[in-house]
Amino acid sequence: MVVEHWEPWPIDQPTHGGPVGYKHLQDAFNQAKPGGYTVQTITPPSPTNGTFATALKTAIASGSSPDTFQQNLNEVALYAGQKATLALDSYMATDKFDLNQLFPFSVFQMKWDGKVYAMMQHTDINIMWYNTDLLRQTGLDPSNLPKTWDDLEQMALKGIKKNGPDMVQIGFDPTRGNGTPSWLQANGVKILSDDGRKATFDGAQAIETLEWLKKIYNQVDGGKAAVDAFQKNSSSKVSGSSFGAYENGKALSLNNGNWEADAIRRANKQLPLAVASLPSGPSGPKDSSHNVFMGGIFCALSATGKHRDGGWKYLQFIGGPIGGTAVETDTADVSGNIEASKNPTILNDPNSGFGRKDTQPLFPLAGGTRDIQSAVGPDVQYSALENAVSQVLQNKTDTATALGEAVKVANAALDKYYNNLSK
């Protein structure tokens, strides 16, 4: 019996860690054959001008969904609320699946409305990356990395190098990376209300955050024209990466996820690197060590799949140490399974282990989410919040107005979702 699993990255096109991990996972599951099942990993053809999400939603609406499928953080709540996925609690109870084998923050993200609706395929964290050689050349100590925004700002100022009018080295670019929700939380901002139904990122701490990002972008880095010209001349050697300046040794720092290790390994394995939590803002935690912001990729059990028991066996395998190790092989991805994340075979491998020993100690420190954990997360984060950031950084509007409008957009999306859910 064959379980059909859908995910967006063709496993015969190993352009990054995602498809590589899925291929190893498929091979390991098919060798073990739990319950007599095997799995076929499929990237569905998308409808015209569509995406993986479009193809998946079309299949779900027509009742022809796969047995299991990949989800992003916001989609755990989205599909669970639409009853398109099944809660896993009864399966876990029957097979005595111990959630304590997973990182606590992974379990937190797997839940919606008090029940587990997904399995963590691989977890990730949003952190700071530094170039230790450039720090030394700038007169800074790589053993004393920035812990406050003032520290990072001073590093950014010292890190700028120019050849005539042209910038040839940058200290920190706030427009590159995975950052806005993380920077807000590093300054004590609560992005959503406790019940997740209202956006709350328009207060004084949020304004303070965007004002600081604007200061770095415009006063330190020279503004959009200067940064765009610099980044254009610093393209990455890795397909799909927009972080060439750091990967090519032209940036002192980068805010990005632990998966950046995979791009560095491919582009410039000799890069002298160090990693750390994000520095705290003036209104943020005094101890910045927990400014490590979690995310991940999840797999869910379809409510209309043909092989529910087989689908669960696949998810159970993903969450265990053998499946977790398969996901990590030849990638920078980290399993949600704690034992797998510490596997010495992976840690000591020259490919799978690259950068992993640096980032691994930060995973237990994760405190917030790198993306907005909501069924309408993309609307809140991109249509609302990131649009506000873009407007502010380019001086097109004042910060309070931009955030106020963004919260209105976000709350309209949240209200629409919860109103429809109650019908």
**Which of these, 343, 320, 374, lies nearest to 97 by C-alpha position?**
320
By the 10 Å C-beta count (0-12 exposed, 13-18 middle, 19+ buried), 86 is classed as: buried
384-401, pLDDT tens digit by residue?
888 899 999 999 999 999
**Element spanning 296, H or E:** strand 293-301
- Is the pLDDT reported for residue 122 higher than 80? yes
pLDDT of 360-388, one tens digit each?
999 999 888 888 777 777 777 777 888 89
Contacts of 219 (CB under 8 A, 6+ apart): none
Residue that wins the pLDDT comparison between 239 and 217: 217
- Give the H or E element holding residue 251: none
Kindly state the average pLDDT of the residues 410-417: 89
Longest dimension (CA), the chain: 69
Q: Six-digit token pair at 362? A: 């930060």
Q: Residues 263-308: pLDDT tens digits?
A: 898 888 899 999 999 999 999 999 999 999 999 999 999 999 999 9
Residue 175 pLDDT > 60: yes
Percentage of the chain surpassing pLDDT 70? Answer: 97
pTM (global) more than 0.85: yes
Average pLDDT, the chain: 91
Taking only the tens place, the pLDDT of each residue in 41-73 is: 999 987 665 688 889 988 988 888 999 999 988
Residue 230 above 70 pLDDT? yes
Angle between helix axes 308-319 and 321-328 (nearest 10 degrees) is 70
- Based on the number of CB atoms within 10 Å of its own CB, is 263 exposed (0-12), middle (13-18) or buried (19 or more)? buried
Whether residue 199 contacts residue 410, with contact meaning beta carbons closer than 8 Å, is answered with yes
Is 3.40.190.10 the CATH number for 126-290? yes
Q: How large a percentage of the chain has pLDDT more than 90?
A: 70
For residue 13, the model assigns a pLDDT of 85
- Is residue 239's pLDDT more than 60? no
The CATH number corresponding to 2-124+296-369 among 3.40.640.10, 3.40.190.10, 3.30.70.2750, 3.40.50.970 equals: 3.40.190.10
Q: What is the pLDDT of residue 47?
A: 66
Span 317-357, pLDDT tens digits: 999 999 999 999 998 899 999 999 999 999 999 888 899 98
pLDDT of residue 423: 61
